[in-house]
Structures are given as C-alpha cells and as structure tokens.
Amino acid sequence: MKQASRFIATGAVLLLLINGVFSPIGAQHPWTAVGSTGVTDGFDIGELFFNPAMSGTASVSPNATLPAQVTIRYNVVAVSDLVKNPDTGFNFTARFRDNGPQARVILRLRSVNIGTGFVQLIQTLDSNNYPPSASFQTRTVFFCSGNDFDFTQSAYFVEAELLRNTGAAQPALAAISIGLGPIHGACPP
C-alpha cells in the first residue's frame, strides 16, 4: 500500500512538471522572436531579405534601391513574463547590426487599444544610441509600463525599421525579446 501511494505521488508530481504547472522559482518566460518571423506590407516586400543562413536574420535586400527603409512588424503574444503585473519593469532587448552612420535599426514597442483603436508608443530601442559595429550586438532598454500589459484591452506589436542609405550600410535584425526586468521594486506600484 505504501509503495502504491508513493507511485501515485510520484506520478502526480511528474504530471505537474510535464504540464508546466510547476516551474522553478525565478524562472523567466519572456516573449521572443527571430528577425525572419516578422511581417511586412506589400510595399517593402522586395526590399526585405530574410537570411536563413544567418539564423533567420532580417535585413535590407542587397538589391534594394537606395536609400531604403524597410518596416517589419512582430506580434507580441501573452507570455507569463508580460502578464504577471510585476513591479520589476521590463527589459526590451534586441540583437542587431548597425555598421555605421548610414545604417540604422529602430524598434518600437506599441500597443493598440482593442476598443478604441488608439495606438500608443511604449518604448523605443534605437541602434544610433550605441556605437556602430560590423558584428551583431545585443542591447537592452529597461522600462516601466504604466498599466503593464493588459491583453484583454490591448494588442501589442514591435515595429522594426531597417534603414540603409548606402551600399556599405548593413542594418540587420537577428532577435527581439521582452521580459521581466532585473530589479524587484524598480517600478512604482
């Protein structure tokens, strides 16, 4: 009888672990996207290049008419880091390449109120705020969200702009992440 009870208890714990009900303390579950998963409108489709050889990066096509500007949108979905109503704030992180003054990557996190259609800018990450590099770099901006993420009232998206003014410019986007910030109590309740 004791062995049967132990077997049932072990099975219940395993079931909880498999279903994700139990997660380690401090585990984070951010929203993430790779550059090639974005959507563009018909105007930019010929200017955009998704590079599967470089882990799914998005960049301006080598054949684009210069100067070129490509806009890509990424739908942000509800994940646990965004719906916890934290007082820690959020990290908005991107891995991008901006190799000089003629290249630029701008990411804007926006919300759209489902009832009114009002679009609001929440946070911006701009590659021009960091030193240029021929290699990819990962940068993070921290923000407090006044109402946190309320997926019952609003939809959220990241709008990425890749700007290429000369042939030597190589703006590219590899990945985006939005998750909990590092400091408990950093944002007012």
Rounded CA separation 171/104 (Å): 6
Domains and CATH numbers, the chain: 28-180 (2.60.120.260)
Q: Is residue 19 very low, low, confident or very high in pLDDT (cuts 50, 70, 90)?
A: very low
User: DSSP class of residue 101?
Assistant: T
Predicted TM-score (pTM) of the model is: 0.82
Taking only the tens place, the pLDDT of each residue in 136-149 is 999 999 888 665 68
Question: Once rounded to an integer, what is the mean pLDDT over residues 47-64?
Answer: 86
Answer yes or no: is pLDDT of 30 > 80: yes
Average pLDDT, the chain: 82
Phi and psi angles of residue 4, each rounded to the nearest 5 degrees, phi first: -65, -40
